[in-house]
Structure formats: C-alpha cells, structure tokens
Amino acid sequence: MNICLNIDIVTIFPEVFYGPFSESIMKRAVEKGLVGINTVDLRNFTDDRHRTVDDRPYGGGPGMLMKPEPFYKAVDSLRRKDTKVLLMSPEGEMFTQAIARELADETHIVILCGHYEGVDERVGSGLADRILTIGDYVMTNGNIAAMAVVDSVVRLVPGVLGCESSKTEESHSAFLLEYPQFTRPEVFKGMKVPELLLSGDHGKIREWRLSQSLEITRKRRPDLFEKYGKWMKNSKDVLK
C-alpha cells in the first residue's frame, strides 16, 4: 500500500513529537503505511558551531526572533513538486475542520514550528503556502499546534479510521457540534439514557440527534450556529 500523505515537521524540539505520534490512531496510520510522519531538527540547517537559529529583532523589542535562513534551507531539502508548506503562528488563519479536510487531500506537507518571540516575517511571506493558528492565544512554540493539526488531518486520510462514517458524523463536520451519546449502563448515578435511543426507531433517533446538535451548537458556539444557518441557506439557494 502506497503512503497517502507524508508529513515533515521542522522544529528545534523533534523529541517532543515521539510520544503523541507513537500511540493510538497516529501509530496505526503509520504502521499501516498510510501516513509517513517525520521530524526534522531545524538546527541541522545552521552554519555556525553554536547551531544558532535566533537573533535580536531589528528595531528593538523583547526576546529573540527565529532567523529565516535555517527554515529556507530545511524546506529546500524537503521540497517536492507536490509540497504544501505550513507555518504555525498566532498571526495565522484559524485552523478548522474544513482546512483539515483540504490538507488530508495533499500528498506532502511540511509544517514549520516557531519558538522564542516568533519567526522572521520572510518565512511566512516568502516560504509558507499557508499560516495557521489553532486558537486566539499564544503558546511557547508551534509544536503542540502542529500536533493538533497533524492529528486532525491524519484521521481524515482514507483508511486510517476503522469506521469511515464517523468522519462525517462528528463535531464540526457541517458547522454543528456533535449530539450527546450514551453507552451502557442504561442508568448511572440516577442519570438515564433517553428512552428514544432505546426505541430502535432510527428515523426518530436521527431527528433527535439533529435537534440536539442544533441546540448544543446554538448555546455553546453561536458563531458556528450562524455559519450553519448561512450554509443551509446557500444550499437551499443552489437547489432552487
């Protein structure tokens, strides 16, 4: 079986990825030969004996900024005709399930992880095809953000999940959060599974699940609920 997606992660802390990617779905995806995940030490692309990857920012300011040269050399060594380069940065566009689906269709992704006060602007503007963030907050570096992106993307690669339908029935698949789910026991600490789920009436169960998804999304994520409304309106307009 040919590898569907190759992922190279460029970082100054390659060891931190070993644990998360050696368990569960990530591990099985690699073992099946569906995905290749490789970490690349950015310091291997420096020219001085101290393996320096950062320097003081022009114009002054706190902290150190990551230099552009090592990133360019690293990407040059990895790039293929089909390569998509991503930079993890707080200034990027918000990573979403829709972007995860797009990236799952790629064949080679290189993810650049920043550190310190950030990365020289020329890395984002001249090297990256896309700049992504996983939330409106600042982290120590881009490693955990890269892990989140890889996890979301890999599970969408065909053949990775045992039940392919689960990819379309989970949270964010159509701007809706997932409906409540229950398993045995039927009663736990006085809390009972809804009777409808025990009825065997799959049509009514589908209706209940949709109504629950709508209500949960409306309460917890009004921003997504608004997007869902626009998506539904556009879908109806197309069918007219």
Q: Which domains does the chain have, with CATH numbers?
A: 5-154 (3.40.1280.10), 170-239 (1.10.1270.20)
Residue 163's pLDDT is what? Answer: 58
Please give the Cα distance from 52 to 44 (Å, whole number): 10
At 74-116, the pLDDT tens digits run: 999 999 999 999 999 999 999 999 999 999 999 999 999 999 8
Which distant-in-sequence residues (6+ apart) come within 8 Å of 224 by Cβ? 172, 175, 176, 177, 217
In contact, 159 and 4? CB cutoff 8 Å: yes
Q: What is the 3-state secondary structure (H, E, C) of 183-203?
A: CCCCEECCEECCHHHHCCCHH
Three-state secondary structure call for residue 32: coil
* Higher pLDDT, residue 233 or 46: 46
Please give the Cα distance from 61 to 109 (Å, whole number): 33
At 169-222, the pLDDT tens digits run: 555 557 899 999 999 999 999 999 999 999 999 999 999 999 999 999 999 999
Q: Say whether the peptide bond before residue 194 is cis (omega within 30 degrees of 0).
A: no
Q: Please give the DSSP secondary-structure letter assigned to residue 238.
A: H
The 10 Å Cβ neighbour count of residue 239 is 6
Give kind and range of the element (H or E) at residue 27: helix 24-31
Residue 61's pLDDT is what? Answer: 87
